[in-house]
Structure 1
Amino acid sequence: MKAVVFDAHGAVDAMQHRDAPDPVPGPRDCLIRVRAVALNGFDPMILRGIPGLKTPLPMTPGADIGGEIVGLGAEVDRAKWKIGDRVTVIPNQDEGMVGETLRGGASEYFATGERYLLPLPDEVSFVDAACLPVAYGAALRMMEARGQLRTGEKVLILSAAGGVGVCCVQLAKAAGCEVVACASSADRANRLKDIGADHVIDTSTQNYVTEIHRLYGKPRTRGGGGVDVIVNYTGGDTWAECFRALTLNGRLLTCGATAGYDPKTDIRYIWSFEFNIIGSNGWTREDQIELLRRVAQGQLKPIKHCVLPLARFKEAMTDLIDRKVFGKAVLTP
């Protein structure tokens, strides 16, 4: 089969689209013909190498997979699965994370345990299915199970143009919130309006804290001003900075730290404004099923930056690294 493979950590040029051994399914595994696979923000990090995280080499990226079953292990439940079934993969597995510590699905075929498969509704395409698990799953858990968004709340979403961000915008709007979305270019900011943002901020020319003060006033320790909820999974310099935009008893939601996990902070804001800092880690099987249901019923839209043949993976990865992706970059083997 053909697959995207890198034998050593490095830059995009370390990756090749080449022949690779076909996966051999175990007794309880299904062999999947991959029809679509999406990239995520952690793919460039895995490519470069994360200190302390052991990545099997040679490595294939791609955690989010949509495809069809073409082979069944000897012990697979035939009453549940059959050849030709349309499926999506649950990538956060007991043995590790697909595309991170387990080889990913940027290949023509992928084998995984039957317990990590979900049936794909007829209304959900392979490409749409590949957009969902990691980014949309993280967003759903963070915004609803952990963040408990309420109608009428003001929500600020930093780095809203990526896979997690575009889902957060849709979820917040569906919950009846007033949504302020940030992006690093005017074009991406304007596209956020198209998916429901009430206000957009181009952080390449505007300071989002200043804009929040302009829209809602400066937060005060006795109440008023600022936003009720801030979504910040970038960390880095934005961590303490965003405190100045959050209202009294506001909620700060985080599910990552793409710009740095050990930023300077200012604890005075946390106690003075009685902030609630809420972490969210991954998503559940039930979350992924719920995402499929909402997409099938037209309640949630997977936003695609591009859909490219697998052989053009370098273009998609380069756009991801250069922060040009709006939504999800999807590859079709």
Structure 2
Amino acid sequence: MKAAVIYEHGGPDSIKYETDFPDPVAQPGEVIVKVHAATLNYHDVFTRNGMPGITVPMPIIMGLDFAGEIVEVGQDVEGGWKIGDRVMIDPSDRKTFGGVIGEARHGGLAQYCAVPDHHLVALPDDVSYETAAALPVAYGTAWRMMVTIGKIRAGERVLILGASGGVGTCCVQLAKLAGAEVIAAASSPDKLARLKDLGADHLLDYKQDDFMKWIFTNFGKPHRRLAEKGVDVVVNFTGGDTWVKSLRTLHRGGRILTCGATAGYDPKEDLRFVWSYELQILGSNGWMRDELINLLEQVRQGKLKPVIDKTYALADINDAFRQLEDRRVFGKIMVKP
């Protein structure tokens, strides 16, 4: 079969496109899924590059996010799955805790994939494979952070840093669905224009403006005795030198939501703002199965629409990764095997 494979960790162009990789064989408790669509995540970049403390079996086909059709059912499969069923893949292993699909075992950047039955999510007929492939990692992460953990409410003012990526575009949509006032921060006029189309109320070009000073100018500098001025919530999954500035934009009792640290996991800290403004720092990690079901229902009702930027053929997988790593992406990148 056709597959995008790595044999060792490496940088750009290290993924091998192969046309004769062995077809998967269903083991007990597994089905074979014909992959109709897959999307890329930064997690895939980390897997390709190598992450401290995580051993990736080689060779490995990456790809956490994908959706497709069951074409073979192995022995002892539970859940009543049958050939022809449309499925979305939940890459997290909630049964054996053996790691995620696309990192601990072969993933969806191939024509076919062997998937244990506990990773399968039924895909309604009115949700496309392309839409489903965009949901689990980025949109599942955003849902848990914004809805389950963050509890964004109507009337709140929410600053979203890195709003143009997969997680960010979902955060914008979820905040608007909750009735919040959204400040979307991105790095180019083009991305900001597209964020406006998604419903963002205010646009912040962080290449041109210091976002903390921009907030002070437009919404006032927060005071530790008053729950006004500044913002109610900051969504910050970058870390690095944006961390303390994020704290400083929050009014008394404000909260900062984080689900990652793409710009650095050990930023400078200033605890004075945490205790004197009674700030809440809320971490969010991944998603749960019921949250993916909620996402599918939001999509079915037309309330949420995953943003797909570009679509690549599997043969062009290294070009697709370059787009992601160079941050020339708005929303998600799709790969069609």
- Whether TM exceeds 0.5 here: the answer is yes
Q: 2:149 aligns with which of 138, 146, 151?
A: 146
In 2, Cα distance between equivalents of 1:45 and 1:197: 30
What is the identity, as a one-letter code, of the residue corresponding to 1:6? I
In 2, Cα distance between equivalents of 1:225 and 1:21: 60
Partner SS, residue 13 of structure 1: coil
Whether the 8 Å CA contact 1:37–1:105 is kept in 2: the answer is yes
In 1, Cα distance between equivalents of 2:25 and 2:178: 44
What is aligned with 2:11? Answer: 11
Whether the 8 Å CA contact 2:106–2:113 is kept in 1: the answer is no
What is aligned with 2:110? Answer: 107
Whether the 8 Å CA contact 1:172–1:179 is kept in 2: the answer is yes
What is the identity, as a one-letter code, of the residue corresponding to 2:36? R
Partner SS, residue 92 of structure 1: coil
C-alpha displacement of 1:23: 1.3
Which moves more between the two structures, 145-154 or 19-28? 19-28
C-alpha displacement of 1:99: 2.0
What is the identity, as a one-letter code, of the residue corresponding to 1:13? D
In 2, Cα distance between equivalents of 1:115 and 1:51: 28
Partner SS, residue 115 of structure 2: strand
In 1, Cα distance between equivalents of 2:295 and 2:157: 24
What is aligned with 1:62? Answer: 63
Does 2:269 align with 1:251?
no
Counterpart mapping for 1:247-326 below 5 A: 247-326=251-330
Does 2:29 align with 1:31?
no
What is the identity, as a one-letter code, of the residue corresponding to 1:14? S
In 1, Cα distance between equivalents of 2:101 and 2:335: 16
What is aligned with 1:89? Answer: 89
What is the identity, as a one-letter code, of the residue corresponding to 2:46? M
In 2, Cα distance between equivalents of 1:81 and 1:44: 32
In 1, Cα distance between equivalents of 2:140 and 2:105: 19
What is the identity, as a one-letter code, of the residue corresponding to 1:193? K
What is the identity, as a one-letter code, of the residue corresponding to 1:249? G
What is the identity, as a one-letter code, of the residue corresponding to 1:316? A
TM-score by length of 1: 0.97
In 1, Cα distance between equivalents of 2:268 and 2:61: 35
Counterpart mapping for 1:178-257 below 5 A: 178-223=181-226, 224-257=228-261
TM-score by length of 2: 0.96
C-alpha displacement of 1:242: 1.1
C-alpha displacement of 1:321: 0.4
C-alpha displacement of 1:263: 0.9
C-alpha displacement of 1:100: 2.6
What is aligned with 1:73? Answer: 74
C-alpha displacement of 1:114: 1.3
What is the identity, as a one-letter code, of the residue corresponding to 2:47? I
Whether the 8 Å CA contact 2:61–2:102 is kept in 1: the answer is yes
Post-superposition CA distance 1:138-166 (Å, at most 9, x none) = 00000011001111000000001110000
Identity rate, percent: 50
C-alpha displacement of 1:231: 0.4
Whether the 8 Å CA contact 1:56–1:103 is kept in 2: the answer is no
Partner SS, residue 5 of structure 1: strand
Partner SS, residue 296 of structure 2: helix
CA RMSD of aligned residues (A): 1.1
Partner SS, residue 288 of structure 1: helix
In 2, Cα distance between equivalents of 1:122 and 1:310: 25
C-alpha displacement of 1:177: 0.1
C-alpha displacement of 1:323: 0.7
C-alpha displacement of 1:101: 2.8
What is the identity, as a one-letter code, of the residue corresponding to 1:39? L
C-alpha displacement of 1:82: 1.3
Which moves more between the two structures, 298-307 or 16-25? 16-25
Deviation beyond 3 Å, 4+ runs, structure 1: none
What is aligned with 1:134? Answer: 137
Post-superposition CA distance 1:101-134 (Å, at most 9, x none) = 3322100001111121011111111110000000
In 1, Cα distance between equivalents of 2:24 and 2:197: 41
In 1, Cα distance between equivalents of 2:176 and 2:36: 31
